[in-house]
A and B are shown apart, each in its own frame.
Chain A
Amino acid sequence: MKHLLILIFCLASFYSKADADAKQIIKELNRKFYALNDYSANIFMKFDIPGVKMNSMNGKVFFRKPNRFRIRTKGIFFLPKQNPMQNISNMFLDTSAYTTVISGYEVVDNRKCAIINMIPLKNETDLILGKFWVDEANPLIIKSQITTKNNGTIETQNYFGDMVQYALPSKIVIHIEINKMKMPKMMAMDLKKKSVDKSKVNLKEKGSIELNFSGYKINTKFPDTVFTEKEE
Chain B
Amino acid sequence: MIMGLIKPTSGDIKLFDSSLAQNRNEIMRKIGCIIEKPDFYTYLTAHENLRLFARAHQLQYTEQQYKDLYELVGLSGREKGKVKTYSHGMKQRLGLAQALLHAPEIIILDEPNTGLDPQGIIDLRQLITKLNAERGMTVLFSSHILSEVQEICTSMIVINKGKTIAQGSVADLLSSESLHVHLEVVQVDKCKLALNQSEWKDLYQMDPNKSVDHFTLKMSKREIPLLIRYLTAQDIDIVGIDYRNQLEEYFLKITHS
A and B touch in the complex (CB under 8 A): no
Residues of A participating in the B interface, judged by any CB pair closer than 8 Å: none
